[in-house]
């Protein structure tokens, strides 16, 4: 999330938080697999195709009958044309786009008025099935039946038979989401057929266990490449349709400029992190923000409705997105259109898929490890100084599905050691793990139960024990709360911590210099065993300081660059405590005091730091202050595979 001006924020759509309840009476069918079978038989659509399309549209979730921001309902994401948003800006074609086989996009089905019909449209489904629109919105079985009718109708309009062979349905599948460019349509079809090839199993948001068997012998439709020029300056995977909307680099007055820093990364500064944000505003208003030199900036935006990606700043340059100049200099910032209290409306599968494709591409390009100390949320960015802690952001929030996201990245979060390991990785079962939250529709108002990546921490192993307190976030002494924006007593999926103690169904970890407890029953664990490396104070040190940034040592700064004040965070890492580390680095600093048309020099130190998972946010400790401890059975030299002097 980026701070925006009042005028831009006012342009955000008013959406009732979906977590406060469901819109009217809904029917969440308890036999969704049977519904897929019945609809597939009725409309002569291969069951695997119907289930694959639904998985890519909604992951088979129902969302209580509430629409997404794109106006889509139910497991098939049937789009109500009256709610659908118009794309902004229009998504241009770009190099590497894949041509749809068969009739061109210009021959897509038309309505009687000559207007292009939404291939997954609610109104069209109602006409084909004779089912009232209201029932298609609120009845999962009817929704699936409507999706089957739409696929069959599209197949017929393409002049193709209702074949039993799933591979014959590639063109109809590509048209189902109704995207406006061939690259996105082809990517959707490829994803659907990838799910069919691999198979899928998931517990849905209504508690149903749904299984799609793998079809390893399936031969999907061959793809054809279009020979078109790439969009200006876009750095994007070739299978995605991406556009460019430039952020300005402009002098504002004699002492200020905006809205990013020129760089020569990774030559002058290694890119180590990718930061995941949500906008807390509509993308339309955020596009105005990123073009304002007096505002903040970020590298990429991902649209909720279809996952379209827009780039604003070259990755060689540093955007002002994280609240920490240190992290900005080493990271790429990606904004996702949405509101953290409204995940079902905004955090769409299309968004997750496109974002993960982009992150995979960037991680490979810049050799960024795919773990939660390098791919993290805005809410995990360490505060650079003690006094900045209360101002740090909390997006994308507890309802961002980190476990699913890392599955899409091809780096699944999982146990890497036995259950009695001295280290654990937080890993609740997102669909079924539903901790209490408040604040989704007003201060103190309970949120409706919803799957979550977040696990709450207590001072003792009891549900009624007080929550862990964060003195940096609440320097006035106020207690941590269950508010959806309160990070003071939370950990998140994929984060790893050192075990401090175990008692029955409860596990304690070291967290912000304290022993913090969470419920971790063996039958339904919220954390799993992990192998890795931890740091602990060197013998003879009762405590060591913790930092929110790794700065060069005194004497590393050349003339003309003022050394920033060292600001230890208001915590200590005490004797006997351990914290997980996944990388080490040297300190660096980039001065951005003047407006220049060449990158500012990067001050590089020699002193080593370890990055640690200290609380909900990351932190740094001096390597000279700590010893590194391996978990039993961990092979290889000390340090992460990507270790070594940072640049």
How many CB atoms within 10 Å of residue 164? 9
The pTM (predicted TM-score) of the whole model is 0.89
Query: Do 355 and 336 form a contact (C-beta atoms < 8 A)?
Result: yes
Show me where the domains of the chain are located.
31-224
Rounding to the nearest 10 degrees, give the CA dihedral for residues 580, 584, 588, 590. Answer: -60
Three-state SS string over 278-345 comes to: ECCECHHHHHHHHCCCCCCCCCEEECCCCCCEEECCCCCCEECCCCCHHHHHCEEEEEECECCCCHHH
Please, what CATH class does the domain formed by 31-224 belong to?
mainly alpha
**Mean pLDDT of residues grouped by 10 in the chain (647 residues)?**
45 44 55 95 98 96 88 94 55 32 32 50 95 95 97 96 95 88 85 94 91 90 49 83 92 86 95 97 94 96 93 97 97 97 94 97 98 98 95 96 97 96 97 95 93 97 96 86 95 98 98 97 95 97 97 93 92 96 95 82 96 98 97 56 29
- pLDDT value for 186: 87
* Chain center to CA of 481: 24
Q: How many CA atoms lie within 13 A of 646 on its CB side?
A: 32
Measured CA to CA in angstroms, residue 284 lies from 8, 90, 277, 426 at distances of: 9, 12, 16, 35
How many CB atoms within 10 Å of residue 217? 6
- pLDDT value for 172: 95
- pLDDT value for 12: 40
- pLDDT value for 581: 98
- pLDDT value for 229: 46
Q: At 635, list the tokens.
A: 């092979």
Beta bridge partners of 79: 72, 121
Q: At 620, list the tokens.
A: 């740094």
Q: At 413, list the tokens.
A: 């979060």
How many CB atoms within 10 Å of residue 112? 6
Residue 394's contacts (CB-CB under 8 Å, 6 or more residues apart) are 1, 340, 378, 379, 485, 486, 487
Instruction: Report d(CA 213, CA 527) in Å as an integer.
Output: 28
Closest Cα partner for 310 from 328, 325, 290?
Answer: 290
Q: At 400, list the tokens.
A: 């961002």
Instruction: Report d(CA 94, CA 182) in Å as an integer.
Output: 10
């Amino acid at each position: 999330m980026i701070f925006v001006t009042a005028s831009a924020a006012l342009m955000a759509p008013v959406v009732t938080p979906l977590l406060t309840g469901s819109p009217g009476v809904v029917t969440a069918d308890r036999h969704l697999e049977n519904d897929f079978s019945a609809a597939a038989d009725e409309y002569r659509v291969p069951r695997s195709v119907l289930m694959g399309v639904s998985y890519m549209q909604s992951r088979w979730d129902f969302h209580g009958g509430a629409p997404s921001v794109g106006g889509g309902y139910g497991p098939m994401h049937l789009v109500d044309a009256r709610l659908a948003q118009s794309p902004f800006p229009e998504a241009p074609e770009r190099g590497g786009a894949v041509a749809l086989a068969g009739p061109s996009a210009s021959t897509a089905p038309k309505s009687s008025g000559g207007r292009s019909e939404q291939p997954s449209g609610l109104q069209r489904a109602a006409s084909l099935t004779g089912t009232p629109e209201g029932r298609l919105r609120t009845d999962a079985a009817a929704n699936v039946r409507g999706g089957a009718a739409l696929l069959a109708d599209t197949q017929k309009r393409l002049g193709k038979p209702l074949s039993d062979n799933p591979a014959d349905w590639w063109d109809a599948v590509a048209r189902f989401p109704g995207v406006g460019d061939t690259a996105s349509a082809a990517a959707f079809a490829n994803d659907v057929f990838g799910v069919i090839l691999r198979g899928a199993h998931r517990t849905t948001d209504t508690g149903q266990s749904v299984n799609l068997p793998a079809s390893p012998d399936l031969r999907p439709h061959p793809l054809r490449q279009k020979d078109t020029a790439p969009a200006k300056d876009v750095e994007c995977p070739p299978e995605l349709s991406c556009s460019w909307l430039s952020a300005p680099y402009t002098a504002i007055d004699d002492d200020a400029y905006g809205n990013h820093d020129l760089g020569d990364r990774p030559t002058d500064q290694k890119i180590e992190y990718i930061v995941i944000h949500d906008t807390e505003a509509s993308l339309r208003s955020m596009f105005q923000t990123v073009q304002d030199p007096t505002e903040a900036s970020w590298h990429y935006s991902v649209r909720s409705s279809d996952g379209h990606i827009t780039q604003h700043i070259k990755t060689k340059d540093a955007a002002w997105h994280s609240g920490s100049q240190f992290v900005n200099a080493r990271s790429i910032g990606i904004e996702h259109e949405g509101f953290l209290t409204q995940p079902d409306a905004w955090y769409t599968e299309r968004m997750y898929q496109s974002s993960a494709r982009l992150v995979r591409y960037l991680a490979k390009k810049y050799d960024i490890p795919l773990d939660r100390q390098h791919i993290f949320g805005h809410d995990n960015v360490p505060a650079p100084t003690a006094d900045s802690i209360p101002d740090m952001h909390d997006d994308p929030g507890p309802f961002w599905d980190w476990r699913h996201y890392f599955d899409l990245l091809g780096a699944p979060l999982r146990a890497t050691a036995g259950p009695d390991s001295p280290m654990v990785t937080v890993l609740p079962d997102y669909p079924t793990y539903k901790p209490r939250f408040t604040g989704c529709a007003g201060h103190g108002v309970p949120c409706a139960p919803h799957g979550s990546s977040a696990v709450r921490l207590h001072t003792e192993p009891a549900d009624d024990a007080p929550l862990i307190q964060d003195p940096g976030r609440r320097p006035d002494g106020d207690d941590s709360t269950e508010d959806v924006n309160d990070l003071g007593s939370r950990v998140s999926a994929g984060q790893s911590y050192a075990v401090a103690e175990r008692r029955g169904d409860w596990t304690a970890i070291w967290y912000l210099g304290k022993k913090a407890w969470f419920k971790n029953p063996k039958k339904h664990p919220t954390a799993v065993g992990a192998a890795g490396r931890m740091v602990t104070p060197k013998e003879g040190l009762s405590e060591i300081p913790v930092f929110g940034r790794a700065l060069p040592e005194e004497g590393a700064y050349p003339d003309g660059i003022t050394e920033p004040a060292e600001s230890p965070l208001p915590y200590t890492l005490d004797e006997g405590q351990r914290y997980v580390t996944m990388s080490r680095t040297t300190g660096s600093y980039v001065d951005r005091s003047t407006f220049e048309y060449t990158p500012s020099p990067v001050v590089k130190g020699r002193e080593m730091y370890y990055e640690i998972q200290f609380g909900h946010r990351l932190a740094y400790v001096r390597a000279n202050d700590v010893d590194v401890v391996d978990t039993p059975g961990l092979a290889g030299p000390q340090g992460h595979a990507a270790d070594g002097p940072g640049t």
